[in-house]
A and B are shown apart, each in its own frame.
Chain A
């Protein structure tokens, strides 16, 4: 069946069978979101994504954004999709009704965003950044800032960005030099130059609202002296109307490998000394604000990468079913044997099941992190809320780092299934592979995600986060052991979880020893191994939900059987490799650290 973004059956399975999304409607806050509403929302998100957003994906790539005379234009086709998206009020799905949101469970908004991002995530970065900027205003803004900006942002009338990076302040944001000078009226004059600003300038909205990191005069050096400001492209009068141009000038855009539909801008603030911002939150607490928003931003990037993977998998699957090439291996010697669809070839099947298992596991993981947020909302127990927060904190580096790494691999497998056609622009997977690549870099490179996991999350609350996660995984293992046919795989996964615990202890200790550098040289392998184990947990969870349905629902039997096969494949063919990866981590060989710089050659 020819779907091109996300397998609807799979989306429904995760929402209903795995996480029981409509149970959330028992809580007053989500009362409206019963099963019928959930299904309608997914239907309509899918409908809009396929009919209006998907057709912009190739155009966005080929036409791209244009920069002329300081103005940026997006492809004309983006504008219609943008208007319909705004009219449908899809921008702030989980947010408060009061500010233009829809009060929807985050889990459900993930499903809608799965379709939207899968259709064209470069386009979806305009509302995505707007949403993130809106969240900053919602969390840290004064009543006045909320009144002036929030609803206009959550409804998409004005869009938003995030101005962190400067030429000399990338991963090390503490080096930034953009300055803020306090004026008599309490506002600040902002001066500086920012780069790599996604959606930084475009012609889809009248005003663009930039949250900007800058240093107030005489503030401490490094991250401790950074404050957050709200800087609109056009000033906003007290009555909400737009005022004068605020001296935020786009000086150029980047030519990138992918996401050509999104404008990646260089912005000069206050080049004429006329850029005014208002403080968002407290002075010198800008980084704290950033950190609070980071989980959501990183989860979104995980979803962006994943959206390329899910789409690439479906294209490859459809192609493998249609492309006729080569005889069936069992009929190789028969000169009259007909050529068969390439899905019959074992190596193609290996790639397809690899993609399938990763895509399914990653979808579950991303939705799960969103679901944890909903569980926080419906819980009235502070300890439980804190536990759930901890689970989110420890899973975020996996949901961003591991998911985007694997997503790129899935895109590469998809290209391989297409053969030479995968490498040319006539077919869609080369764009997906290019678009996917940036998700491994921005919003904290995947190396930084690995350091976050090892250096921060592992030791948080004396290891409680890891322990809580292990407990959750063990619950699924115990349940799956009671499901006929899954015992063997549950046992394999249990062994890998235990080994991961051992590895975490070892690496945590090594990071406190004189071998600290060697430990961090294994941060990425550790993220990868942890990701494998967590993915296998998700596949086990899915199979445990699917296996009992095989007999009960013959119509869906092939889907449910497919879940057990994904688990079987992963537990039998991937987890043994993960065990080997973990052996390597336990060795913590020091070659990468010990090798002399000169010995790298060159």
Chain B
């Protein structure tokens, strides 16, 4: 099975204090330590496990600058077979749709049975997987927390849904899945793996290589633009309802009625 996993280099939340930059347009990125987006890492682990079982190849791809190459190499040290860096000045400040369009162009240069993304990354929108599937006109499942290969055409996938429940689906390949954390336990990268990929060349593809019109992606093509970043101020007046679920529901209904929310 040919699997493509889309990954992203993001600030590592385990040891960074994220603060809003003074211009209010972004977080303060000086001195941040970066690593691979956690959700993506689960996706790569899942891809490696699938290939271990049924054979095939795992390719990791990212859209980013030169420094983003390190996350590709890292995921290759973990066990992915190949990496592709999609990098071009024209890609900078792309919105989710722009990123999906760039990834789509890369997908079309290969032949993949399965494409995985993380459920979300640092921007928190969780949109790239779905948009990519729509652009490719492939079936899509989000928040996937289990994958079972039925045959070379079909997968059985579990999706995390409300209330701690799981929804089971069959999905035709090729397809796009966005992966939820907890689907597996990602392996750590050891020195042997790192040494193996130390000198591997990772191909870099730009807008012209991908046949992308520079005006359609990046800042120029973005329909969504950041207006302001801020930390919400603490409000007051919040009331925690306590008791059994029934009691809480009763109190809530009472409150909603009293405030005019329910008639």
Chain A residues near B (Cβ < 8 Å): 1-4, 8-9, 32-34, 36-37, 39-41, 43-44, 46-48, 50-52, 84, 87-90, 93, 102, 104, 555-556, 558-559
Contact = CB atoms under 8 A, between A and B. Distances in A.
Interface stretch (B169-177, B186-194, B207-215): B186-194
Contact of B31 (A1, A39, A41, A43): A1
Given A37-B195, A40-B73, A44-B194, A88 B16 contact: no
Given A1-B15, A4-B15, 11 more contacts: A1-B16, A2-B17, A32-B198, A40-B189, A43-B74, A46-B33, A87-B188, A88-B188, A89-B190, A90-B190, A556-B30
B30 A3 contact: no
Interface in B140-198: 187-192, 194-195, 198
Nearest to B194: A40
B199 interface: yes
B33 A8 contact: yes
A114 to B, nearest CB: 14
List 6 tightest A-B contacts by C-beta distance, closest first.
A88-B190, A37-B198, A44-B189, A2-B17, A40-B194, A102-B191
B155 to A, nearest CB: 29
Nearest to A48: B188
Interface residues of B, number: 24
Contact of A32 (B70, B73, B187, B195): B195
A2 B191 contact: no
Contacts of A84: 188
Nearest to A39: B70
A1 B192 CA distance: 31
A555 B30 CA distance: 6
Contact of B188 (A34, A44, A93): A44
Nearest to A33: B198
A58 to B, nearest CB: 17
B17 A1 contact: yes
Contact of A50 (B15, B74, B187, B191): B15
Nearest to B76: A40
Interface in B95-148: none
Contacts of B188: 44, 47-48, 52, 84, 87-88
B77 interface: yes
A2 B194 CA distance: 27
A559 B31 contact: yes
Contacts of A104: 191
Interface of B: 14-17, 30-33, 35, 69-70, 73-74, 77, 187-192, 194-195, 198-199
A558 B31 CA distance: 10
A76 B222 CA distance: 51
A41 B15 contact: no
Contacts of A4: 15
B191 A89 contact: yes
The CB with the most chain A CB atoms within 10 A, among B32, B35, B69, B189, is that of B189
10 contacts: A3-B33, A32-B198, A36-B69, A43-B35, A44-B189, A44-B191, A84-B188, A87-B190, A89-B192, A556-B30
A40 B191 CA distance: 9
Contacts of B198: 32-34, 36-37, 40
Nearest to B192: A89
B191 A47 contact: no
The CB with the most chain A CB atoms within 10 A, among B15, B73, B74, B77, is that of B15
Contacts of B16: 1-2
B35 A102 contact: no
Contacts of A1: 15-17, 31-32
Contacts of A558: 30
Contacts of A90: 190-191
A40 B199 CA distance: 12
Contacts of B35: 43, 47
A36 B83 CA distance: 15
